[in-house]
Homo-oligomer: A and B are copies of this chain.
């Protein structure tokens, strides 16, 4: 699911930046995170997902959406609402959500790595 770059189109599109600090312990978190990544990918306007968590416990997940209404709709999907409730009970010490419109994007790939793919 995660561990790789999202293949997003030319801007504009939308990004939901979800920064979180985990509680100690697994308690079903990994399974939920995988399910949510799969479910997000089925939603209208989904463009991709990138996720990383440091050993310190701080994690950043960015999901990309074709437009703001698609990002809002994902927040309201029933199973996702349930995961959000579980998150507050079990998995997170704190989180911050920032909804942003991506205006510009550019990237770079090492030539050797580019040849290898």
Contact = CB atoms under 8 A, between A and B. Distances in A.
Nearest to A4: B58
Copies of this chain per assembly: 2
B100 A15 contact: yes
Secondary structure at the A interface, as helix, strand, loop or mixed, is: strand
A115 interface: no
Interface residues of A, number: 44
A102 interface: yes
Contacts of A96: 5-6, 105-107
A79 interface: no
Nearest to A101: B101
Contact of A5 (B21, B99, B100): B21
A54 B52 contact: yes
A100 B101 contact: yes
A60 B50 contact: yes
Interface stretch (A24-32, A33-41, A87-95): A87-95
Given A60-B52, A100-B101, A94 B106 contact: no
Interface of A: 2-6, 8, 11, 15, 17, 19, 21, 23, 50-54, 56, 58-60, 62, 68, 88, 92-110, 113
